[in-house]
A and B are shown apart, each in its own frame.
Chain A
């Protein structure tokens, strides 16, 4: 079993839909939870990060962390074609680079 698993996708939704992207993990010591967006032929861009459990909202994006279930989610409201990208979850015990474990990514297409 991989340390971080992510819904494989690809996911295709109509414009305006609510999108739910999910990751599960096995290491209960993870404390930092991140979501990256990666457009084709580009590097990942950090969307949001959360420390420990709880919710965090930024515009149309909401990140949720449930440490008891070892489950994190990213919700995108009113999805736009510009949201079409691959979304990577990542998590770590500490803030140093070598401790970050990335999920394999979920490809999302938002159809106009």
Chain B
């Protein structure tokens, strides 16, 4: 059974640009959540989508947004990139959104220069 797939694996962007990251969950999983991981702040929750609806949102500015498609694939968008947005962005999927049943992808390493 294929795991959670995130694309691209690595990305370099310039300050002020925008970026879109993609996450394909495990087949049958309807919940996709996104996290930002940095050495200073650790792993922080961004938002969760379930059946195309944003169900929960963390404490991040409006520059961070996401969406989920009918096939449960999800995208995350960051506009007007800042140097501090450099991080590993992880998505996790689960059947129903229970955090103890989540499987993480390998992440997208975003570097903003």
Given contacts A43-B4, A44-B90, contact A98 B45 (CB under 8 A): yes
CA distance A90 to B31 in the complex (A): 19
Let me know if A95 and B45 touch, CB within 8 A: no
Stretch at the interface among B13-21, B68-76, B94-102: B94-102
CA distance A42 to B92 in the complex (A): 12
Q: Which residues of B contact A100 (CB under 8 A)?
A: 45, 99
Let me know if A105 and B100 touch, CB within 8 A: no
CA distance A88 to B102 in the complex (A): 15
CA distance A46 to B56 in the complex (A): 21
Q: Which residues of A contact B45 (CB under 8 A)?
A: 97-98, 100
Main secondary structure of the interface of A (DSSP, over half): mixed
CA distance A90 to B102 in the complex (A): 13
A45, A98, A102: which contacts B43 (Cβ < 8 A)?
A102
Residue among A32, A34, A45, A97 with max Cβ neighbours from chain B (10 Å): A97
A32, A41, A105: which contacts B106 (Cβ < 8 A)?
A41
**Residue B62, interface by CB 8 Å:** no
CA distance A97 to B92 in the complex (A): 10
Let me know if A95 and B106 touch, CB within 8 A: no
| Binary per-residue interface labels of chain A (52-64) against chain B in the complex, 1 for a CB within 8 Å, 0 otherwise | 0000000000000
